[in-house]
Amino acid sequence: QLQLQESGPGLVRPSETLSLTCTVSDGSISSRSYYWGWIRQPPGKGLEWIGSIYYSGSTYYNESLKSRVTMSVDTPKNQFSLRLNSVTAADTAVYYCARSLGGYCRGGRCSPGWFDPWGHGTLVTVSS
Amino acid sequence: DIQMTQSPSSLSASVGDRVTITCRASQGIANYLAWYQQKPGQVPRLLIYAASTLQSGVPSRFSGSGSGTDFTLTISSLQPEDVGNYYCQKYNSAPYTFGQGTKLEIK
């Protein structure tokens, strides 16, 4: 069964860059059927979609974060990554990675859909 | 952007009750809607996709309905283990927005 595991620093200083990696196991990140996404959840709050990436490198980003977000895929390592620069305390959250499927399809090309399964999540705190 | 609004924000119900949570989209999204459950301290879990398709392994007391702008998640007979937060998510197009959540408690 496909599993995802987030990894990266748990503490990031304000104005610096948050970097996380999601390792996919028991499945291939190069599958043409899926996107791979990042979602975050500030303590005690709801879920916020950050972005989604296809194995080819095609991306969709949340417009509210787009100027600070970069996602990438490393197919040989079966990993995908998130970089969020110029972080502030408002970026403190549990960050989840997840597989995405089932989105709208047109002309043989599909977009991200629902998220399943999810990684366990990793808490990133922005503080000096 | 299309906004997703859930109601109520919180509710308290008794074991065995029928519970309904609503999600409304500010524009039509056909049936591109998913529902998630997040139990306290746990990872969100997919319950329903395509508005009404039950994810494998999810108890049959959960059901979803709706299309266009109005959607519902129904628990036919509330169980103690159903306590938690419930979120809807649109995926017809970016941004893949979640609703603000509904907190479900047991009376």
| Residue B5 pLDDT level (bands cut at 50, 70, 90) | very high
Taking CB atoms and an 8 Å limit, are B99 and A103 in contact across chains?
no
Per-residue pLDDT of chain A (128 residues; tens, 9 = 90+): 999 999 999 999 999 999 999 999 999 999 999 999 999 999 999 999 999 999 999 999 999 999 999 999 999 999 999 999 999 999 999 999 999 998 888 888 889 999 999 999 999 999 99
pLDDT at B27: 97
Q: What is the mean pLDDT of residues B41-64?
A: 98
A51 CB within 8 Å of a chain B CB = no
> CA of B99 to nearest chain A CA: how many angstroms apart?
8
Tens digits of residue pLDDT in B6-35: 999 999 999 999 999 999 999 999 999 999
- CB of A34 within 8 Å of a chain B CB? The answer is no
**Segment B75-93, tens digit of pLDDT:** 999 999 999 999 999 999 9
pLDDT at residue A106, rounded to an integer: 85
Q: Using alpha carbons, select from A62, A48, A125, A45 the residue that is nearest to residue A89.
A: A125
Q: Which two tokens stand for residue B41?
A: 């301290």
Distance (Å, whole) CA B50 – CA B102? 20
**For B97, which of A49, A100, A117 is closest by C-beta distance?**
A49
Q: In terms of CA atoms, which chain B residue is nearest residue A116?
A: B46
Nearest residue, CB atoms, A96 vs list B43, B87, B95: B43
CB neighbour list of residue A67: distance below 8 Å, 6 or more residues apart:
none
A47 touches chain B (CB under 8 A): yes
How much is the pLDDT for A104?
87
Residue located via tokens 């503080």: A127
Task: Kindly list the residues from chain B whose CB atom is less than 8 angstroms away from the CB atom of residue A63.
Answer: 1, 95
Return the number of CB contacts < 8 Å for A and B: 72
Answer positive or negative: Cα dihedral of A47, A121, B94, A81.
Answer: positive
Q: What integer pLDDT is reported at residue A107 of this predicted model?
A: 83
pLDDT of residue A21: 98
Count Cβ atoms within 10 A of the Cβ of residue B40 and give its class: 0-12 exposed, 13-18 middle, 19 or more buried. exposed
> What was the pLDDT predicted at A114?
97
